[in-house]
A and B are shown apart, each in its own frame.
Chain A
Amino acid sequence: MNGAQDLGGMMGFGRIDREADEPWFHADWERRALGLTLAMGATGQWTIDMSRAARESLHPADYLSSSYYEIWTKGLEKLVLRQGLVTEDELAAGHALGAPKPVARVLKAETVPAALAKGSPCERPAPTPARFAVGDRVMTKIMHPAGHTRLPRYARGKRGFVERVHGAHVFPDSSAAGQGENPQWLYTVRFSGPELWGEEADPNLVVSIDAWESYLEPA
């Protein structure tokens, strides 16, 4: 969706605010927000793509005025409500009011190291031969789906070259909608600065995105 998360090329945010010797967390609630988000992810009730879609569905004004852990927390609230794991009344009360819904698994302290070390690889057996090869000229589609996509606005309808072929990966547009993994070939596609930003752009700039096959047409 054309939400506030799609920031590439926007203007007016000002300087990058850096902090010397930045701590890993700025408050204890950030620690808990990270831990809750990862632990709830482990219950298997949603995919990483559904998590991103939930965060992106915040009102743009809310998204842009929230810190990142606030965005995660608000996204997590949406997910637990949508999956029927928690009710609005429970969120308002701050404690459980009804029986839990069964979940696939609950992450235990002793299994955390193994779970983190394993991660969640998203490469899958390729369902089809790759349509494109390194060096092929491609054009990204012009599209504005209401649902989740990983094709940023600044890179839609642009001509570029395939630079890398990564194998077939879970297709986020499908996975976020609960329509299954539907793996597709994933490519790194590079664009010149002027192709993306016009003739005033730095000619020595090259920007790439990672694009699933259905985002691309031959050019």
Chain B
Amino acid sequence: MDDHHHHDHDDHDHSELSDIELRVRALESILTEKGYVDPAAIDVLVETYETKIGPRNGAKVVAKAWADPAFREWLLADATAAISSLGFTGRQGEHMVALENTPDEHHMVVCTLCSCYPWPVLGLPPVWYKSAPYRSRAVIDPRGVLAEFGVELPKPTRIRVWDSTAEVRYLVVPMRPEGTEGWSEDALADLVTRDSMIGVGLALRPDQVVRA
């Protein structure tokens, strides 16, 4: 516990806050008082990424690619335009490339240098994606990483790792599970997990989802 009480601190409700909480609070106060930021804009930014943008967007893209051969072709040829046609555009998804998994080749995405991730289709990245273990190991030991995620690929399957070192953002199109012929796009989207679109997971099998 904190046994060094800051008696010179007149703002007593800060005493329980950690160093980083105090630093962020100080920054927000200063930047707001100086008129550089509008706290209401920060509220909207946070609300957008907390409630409006997430991997359900990407799941719709993948489901449509599975169900609609013309869309699949468009997605593989010009992912930015194809994804934009579904309304998913903008910040951290300005230049999109879609990567289709096959029995011969499994794609997996990492950003070894920071945390580059396709926000419009997957939302904000999970902590593990930004963490040193994933960023360090994905390029040198992807099979070991996949094993930790419970994914065992046949030995002959080539593992294709994409290190997002520029502003191009990659979306993996996982393989469509068997037994889903004739499914609607909505039903297919329920099989598409976030991890499968990063390439550290597979799409769910029909028996792994509970249909309402």
CA distance A33 to B168 in the complex (A): 24
Q: Decide if A39 touches B38 in the complex (CB within 8 Å).
A: yes
Interface contact tally, CB-CB below 8 A: 266
Chain B interface size band reads 35 or more
Chain B, range 14-65, C-beta contacts under 8 Å to A: 20-31, 33-38, 40-46, 48-50, 54
User: Are A151's CB and B165's CB within 8 A?
Assistant: yes
Given contacts A85-B34, A86-B30, A96-B30, whether A166 and B50 have CB atoms under 8 Å apart is no
Indicate whether A130 reaches chain B with its CB closer than 8 angstroms.
no
B 104-128 contacts with A by CB, 8 A: 110, 112-115, 123-124, 126-128
Q: A146 to chain B: closest CB distance in Å?
A: 16
* B165:A150 contact, CB within 8 angstroms: yes
Is there a chain B Cβ closer than 8 Å to A143's Cβ?
no
Q: Is the CB of A77 within 8 A of B27?
A: yes
With A8-B140, A13-B133, A210-B168: A112-B33 Cβ-Cβ less than 8 Å: no
Task: Please tell me if A212 contacts chain B, counting CB pairs below 8 Å.
Answer: yes
CA distance A95 to B113 in the complex (A): 33
Chain A interface SS verdict (over half): mixed
A73-131 interface (Cβ within 8 A of B) = 73-74, 76-77, 80, 85-86, 90-91, 93-96, 100, 103, 106-109, 111-113, 115-123
Q: Which residues of A contact B (CB under 8 A)?
A: 5-11, 13-19, 22, 24-27, 29, 31-36, 38-40, 43, 48, 52, 55, 64, 67-70, 73-74, 76-77, 80, 85-86, 90-91, 93-96, 100, 103, 106-109, 111-113, 115-123, 150-152, 154-155, 164, 166, 169-170, 172, 186, 188, 196-197, 201-202, 204-212
